[in-house]
Structure 1
Amino acid sequence: MEQSVGSLQELALKRKERLKALKTRQLQGRDDDEEEEPEKKKALSEEVEEKHREIKLRNYTPEDEELKDRQVPKAKPASVEEKVRDQLEAANPEPIIEEVDLANLAPRKPDWDLKRDVAKKLERLERRTQRAIAELIRDRLRGSEEELAEAVGAVGVTEGDSD
């Protein structure tokens, strides 16, 4: 770790040389920039001249024909009544929902999604159940008609015997 005084001086000299080289490079870079700057300044000044604002004449009535094109037409004051009417309409918004559906406000039961998913299948089963019940009723009616016919026939036979 200990270095001799001579080696430290050599390191300092090398560092000074590097710093000088760095300064010369920076100065050369500035010289190059200074040579380019007049060209940049010219381009910027041309852009500024192109971007100048076009004159708009609001209160001045020009006599020159070219300047008459730049004259802005007279502004008409807006009607205060219309502005007030617009503000009043904006202050009274129309109600978005006219009726409140209590079913939407009430909390849902935990099985609401299951009922929703099964509803279509239950509709089909309900129709089939109604058909089956109707068919069973028809069968019973047919059976009761036959029994009724037999009962009527039996009653007719017993009446015929008594004559």
Structure 2
Amino acid sequence: MEQSVGSLQEQALKRKERLKALRGRQLHGREPQDGEPDSKRALEDLEGEEKHRELKLRNYTPEDEELKERQVPKAKPASVEEKVKDQLEAANPEPVIEEVDLANLAPRKPDWDLKRDVAKKLEKLEKRTQRAIAELIRERLKGSETELAGAVGAVNVEEGEEDSD
């Protein structure tokens, strides 16, 4: 890795010569060489455009007459109220559906179709069940009436015996 001082000086001189040549090409506007990469060409083109940029004065009020011509006219601020109204109108979309049925939103149970099909048969069975319950109640009431009559007769007999004592 050690290099002699002479070789380092030679490399530095070569580098200086290349830099001088590069500066000379940039200043005199030369044609790019075919071996030169595109990125170098693009950088050189950008530097050339920056030199010819037109001066625009936005915030500075010049005193010189020539510079006053380059001054950009002051922009008038737009009405804030109108912009806010536009933004509020854009933020409020019109509702597509006004009423939402919760039954349509909730997922259905897997056996919903079975319940729908069996509902008519269940109505018939419910009527028959109610009739059967009514008959059973009537039979019990008839049975309890006879038992009640017997119990009342027995009580009367006992009361008569007690009265005779």
Q: Report if TM-score (shorter chain) is over 0.5.
A: no
Normalising by the residue count of structure 2, what TM-score does the alignment of the two structures yield? 0.39
Normalising by the residue count of structure 1, what TM-score does the alignment of the two structures yield? 0.40
